Chain A
Amino acid sequence: MAATTIAVPQPEMPLSHELRGRVGMWCLIVAESAIFSIFVVAYLYYAGKSISGPTPREVLHVPYFNSICLFSSSFTIVMAEHAIARGKTRLFGIWWLLTIVLGAIFILGTAREWYGLIYRDGLTISSSLFGTTFYSLVGLHAFHVLVGLTGLSIILAFTALGYVKQEHAERIGVFAMYWHFVDAIWVVVLSVVYFITR
C-alpha cells in the first residue's frame, strides 16, 4: 500500500489483557466501597439518635486483639504471595494457613462479642436503632470476612492436594487484593464504631 511507505506512526499498546483480573478486582472494590460507605454514613448519621437501649459507651469494648490479628493477616498474605511467585508452594501453604488462622480468630472474636451483646446486654438488631446500625455495619463486614475465609480455605485445600503452582500466582494475587480490601474496610469500621462514635 502506497501510504505505508511514508512514516506510519508506531501504534501504542494499550493496557495488556493480562491485567484484567486486577482491573476487575479494583472495580469490584470500588463497588463494594460504595455499599460500605452508605452503611457507614447511616451509622454516623444515627449515632446517638437511639431512643432506647444501651449506648455504645456502655456495651462496646475496643477489640484490640481481634483487630491486630486481622491487620497482621494482610502481612501474612503478602508473604504467601511472595512465596508462590517464587514457586515455593510449601512456604506458600504455611503463610496461607496462618492467614486463615488469623482471619478465623477475628471472626470468632466477633462472634464472642455478639454473643455477649445479645445475651448479657440485651442488644439485638431489633432492640434499638443503635443495635440495627451496629449489627448491620459490623455484620456486613463480618460477612465479607466469611466470604474471604471460604475462598482462602478452598485455595488451602487445593494447595494441600498439590494443585496450586507458580503459574497461579496472578490469580492468587487478585484474590489477595480482596482480602486486603476486607482489612482496609475494617480500619474504617473500627474507627467509626469503636472510636469516633463511642
Chain B
Amino acid sequence: MWDAEPISKPLAVPPVRDAVQPLFDRVHGWITTVDHKRLGILYIVYALFFLVIGGIEASIMRLQLIRPHNDFVSPQVFNRMFTMHGTTMIFFVAMPVMFGFINYAIPLMIGARDMAFPRLNAWGFWMTAFGGIILYFSFLGGSGLYGAGSTPDVGWFAYAPLTSPSFSVGHSTDYWIIGLLISGFGSIATAINILTTIFCLRCPGMTLGKMPLFAWMNMVTAGLVVLALGPLTAAQLMLLIDRYLGGHFFDTQAGGSAIIWMHFFWVFGHPEVYVLVMPAFAFVSEIIPVFSRKAIFGYPIMVGATISIGFISMSVWAHHMFTVGMTSYGNAFFVASTMAIAVPTGIKIFNWLGTMWGGKLIFKTPMLFCVAFLFQFLIAGLTGVMLSVAPFNWQLGGSYFVVAHFHYVIVGGILFALFGAFYYWFPKMSGRMYNEKLGKLHFWVFLIGFHLTFDFMHIPGILGMPRRIYTYEPGRGWDTWNLIITIGVLFQAVGILIFVYNLVSSYFKGKLAGDDPWDAWTLEWSTSSPPPDYNFATIPVVRSRRPLWDLKHPEDPDWKYE
C-alpha cells in the first residue's frame, strides 16, 4: 500500500484559528497541554525571558567594569551577578531553548504525531520552569531584596570548599543546588523522551540513515544529557548531604577532597558544552543546505563526526583543571583528547563549506547567521585548541582570555546558530513571516556588538586580567579594552531588542508565510503553518533524506541516488 504515494500531501487548508477564548481558558490550555509543539513554544518563551534576565546581569557586570575603580555595584552584588549570569544562561536559557526547538521540530521532522511520552514531556518542562523560579526566588528569600536576598555567589561551577557550610552561610548555595537539581530532573526526563521518540516514532521508511541530520545530532545531544546530567545530580546530592546532614565529601578537614568536586562538576560540565553546541550544529545542518539549494555534503561523515564528538566529549573534562595541577600523564591525556575533538569538529565545518561550495547561496537572515556561525565557531575552536595546550593554559587559565574563548563558543557559535533557527522556523511556528529588513538589521548590529565585546576581550586576558574581579587598578593597560568591551554590550542589547520586537510584531502583523516559505525538504514543511494538533493527517512515508524533494520532483527523486 505504500507504493501509491511517496509521502502524504501537504494540507492546503489552514486550520481554523480558534476564536478568542477567555484569558483563564487560554492559560489553562497552556498549563495542561501535552502537545509537543505548545511545550516547545513554552520552552522557547521561557528561555527568551531568562535570556533577557541573564543579559541584564551581564550588562550590570560590564557597567561595573567600564572603568577602573568603578563603584556601580558592590563586590557582593558583582559576585552574585556573575554566578546568576552563568547559571541562568547555561541552565535556564541555552538548555531550555534547545529543548524547545528539539521538542517542536523532532516529531515533525520524523513524521510523528507527538513525543513518545507526551505527559512526561509536560512534566519535564514544568520541572525546568520551577527550577528556574526557585533559583530566582533567592533574590527575595533570606535577607530580602535590600541585600539582594541570599542569591548564590559562588560562581556557576560552585567550587568547594567555598560552598561548604562554614564559608557559604545561609541558604544561597542551597538555592543554587536545589534550583539546578529540580531542572536537572526535568532535563533528564526530556532527554529520555527525545531519545525514545527518535528511536521508536519514526515514520515508515525513515531508517536511521534517512533521518534528517537535525534528528541525528539531537539524538547525540539527548544521549549526552542522559549521561552527563547524572554526575551533576550526584555531585549536587553529595553537596546537599555535606550542607544539610554534615557529611564530609568535600570537607578537606575530615579527609574529603575539594578537587573531586571539580572532577565531578566537569564530568558534567564539558559534555554540557556539547549538549549546547550539538543542537546548534543541528540548526546549521538544516539551514545551510536549504539556503545553498544543495543536499548536505557528506551525510554519513557528518553522522560519524557527530557520534565521535559525543564519545570524545566524555573524556576531555579535566582540561578545565590544568591549573589545578595534575600528573604529567593526566595532563598529556587531556591535552591529547581535547585536541582530538577538534578533528571531527573540523570535519563538520568542512562539510558545511562543502555544502555551500557551488551552491546557489541565498543570504536570507537565517543563512547570514549561519555563515557568521561558521567563522566565529572556527575562531572559538582555534582558541580552544590554544587553551588545550597545558603550558599555555597555565598562563591564561582563569583569565579573561578564557572568558572570551567560551563566550565566542556560546555567543558567537551557539547563539548565532540559534538566531538562525529562530528566523528559519518562525514562519512554521507562527504561520507568519518575520520582517526581513529588521532581521538583517538585527544581524549586523548584533554582529558588530559581538565582535566589539568578545574580540577585544581576549586582549586584557593576555595582559593578565583575571576573570571574576569586580574592579581593577588603572594603568595596567586594561582600561581602554574594558571600555570597548562594554560599548559592544550596548550594540548587543540593541540587537536583542530589535530581535524581540521583530518576533512580537511579526507574530501579530507579519504577512502569512504559507506552508513552505523556504522551499525546504524536511517533513515539517509538508504540513500547514502552524501545524495542526495532529501534525500529519496521514502518517507520511519517506524514501530518502529529503522527502519533500521527492514529492516536489517526482521525475527526479533523491532515492535514486542514495
Give Cα A47–Cα B166 distance, bound, in whole angstroms: 25
A8-16, A73-81, A150-158, A159-167: which lies at the B interface?
A8-16
CB 8 Å contact bits of B252-274 with A (1 = contact, 0 = none):
00111100100010010000000
Residues of B within 8 A of A128 (CB): 248, 254-255
Whole-angstrom distance from the CB of A94 to the nearest CB of chain B?
32
A38-46, A54-62, A111-119, A179-187: which lies at the B interface?
A38-46
Residues of B within 8 A of A17 (CB): 116, 200-201
Q: How many residues of B contact A (CB 8 A)?
A: 57
User: Contacts A23-B199, A24-B117: A12 and B205 contacting too (C-beta < 8 A)?
Assistant: yes
Are A46 and B6 in contact, CB atoms less than 8 angstroms apart?
Answer: no
Are B230 and A15 in contact, CB atoms less than 8 angstroms apart?
Answer: no
Residues of B within 8 A of A38 (CB): 230-231, 234-235, 264, 267
A29-37, A63-71, A83-91, A99-107: which lies at the B interface?
A29-37
B480 adjacent to chain A (CB < 8 Å): no
Give Cα A126–Cα B196 distance, bound, in whole angstroms: 41
Residues of B within 8 A of A1 (CB): 5-6, 554
Give Cα A133–Cα B228 distance, bound, in whole angstroms: 21
Instruction: Name the residue of chain B whose CB is nearest to the CB of A30.
Output: B226
Are A8 and B543 in contact, CB atoms less than 8 angstroms apart?
Answer: yes
A110 adjacent to chain B (CB < 8 Å): no
CB 8 Å contact bits of B514-546 with A (1 = contact, 0 = none):
000000000000000000000000000111000
A28 adjacent to chain B (CB < 8 Å): yes
B185-193, B337-345, B358-366: which lies at the A interface?
B185-193
B206 adjacent to chain A (CB < 8 Å): yes
User: Contacts A2-B554, A125-B241, A129-B256: A20 and B117 contacting too (C-beta < 8 A)?
Assistant: yes
Are B254 and A31 in contact, CB atoms less than 8 angstroms apart?
Answer: no
Residues of A within 8 A of B192 (CB): 24, 27-28, 31
Residues of B within 8 A of A2 (CB): 554-555
Whole-angstrom distance from the CB of A31 to the nearest CB of chain B?
5
User: Contacts A2-B554, A125-B245: A16 and B254 contacting too (C-beta < 8 A)?
Assistant: no
Residues of B within 8 A of A15 (CB): 199-200, 202
A51 adjacent to chain B (CB < 8 Å): yes
Whole-angstrom distance from the CB of B311 to the nearest CB of chain A?
14
Are B257 and A45 in contact, CB atoms less than 8 angstroms apart?
Answer: yes
Give Cα A12–Cα B267 distance, bound, in whole angstroms: 38
Instruction: Name the residue of chain A whose CB is nearest to the CB of B193.
Output: A24
B246 adjacent to chain A (CB < 8 Å): yes
A132 adjacent to chain B (CB < 8 Å): yes
Q: Which interface residue of B188, B238, B247, B248 has the most chain A CB atoms within 10 A?
A: B248
Give Cα A19–Cα B234 distance, bound, in whole angstroms: 29
B290-306 interface (Cβ within 8 A of A): none
Are B204 and A11 in contact, CB atoms less than 8 angstroms apart?
Answer: yes
Are A51 and B255 in contact, CB atoms less than 8 angstroms apart?
Answer: yes
Residues of B within 8 A of A9 (CB): 543, 559
A136 adjacent to chain B (CB < 8 Å): yes
Are B249 and A34 in contact, CB atoms less than 8 angstroms apart?
Answer: no
A3 adjacent to chain B (CB < 8 Å): yes
Are A42 and B543 in contact, CB atoms less than 8 angstroms apart?
Answer: no
Residues of B within 8 A of A34 (CB): 226-231, 234
Are B233 and A132 in contact, CB atoms less than 8 angstroms apart?
Answer: no
Instruction: Name the residue of chain B whose CB is nearest to the CB of A48.
Output: B255
Give Cα A184–Cα B306 distance, bound, in whole angstroms: 31
Residues of B within 8 A of A51 (CB): 254-255
Residues of A within 8 A of B207 (CB): 12, 14
B4 adjacent to chain A (CB < 8 Å): yes
Besides the contacts A31-B230, A34-B227, A46-B256, what 8 more A-B pairs have beta carbons closer than 8 Å?
A: A8-B559, A23-B199, A24-B193, A27-B195, A34-B230, A35-B234, A51-B255, A132-B242
A selection of 18 A-B contacts at a CB cut-off of 8 Å is A2-B554, A4-B3, A4-B4, A4-B5, A8-B543, A10-B2, A19-B199, A24-B117, A24-B192, A30-B227, A31-B226, A46-B255, A46-B257, A49-B255, A126-B245, A126-B246, A128-B254, A140-B237
A-B interface, 6 closest residue pairs, ranked by CB to CB distance from nearest: A11-B205, A34-B230, A126-B246, A38-B234, A132-B247, A3-B554
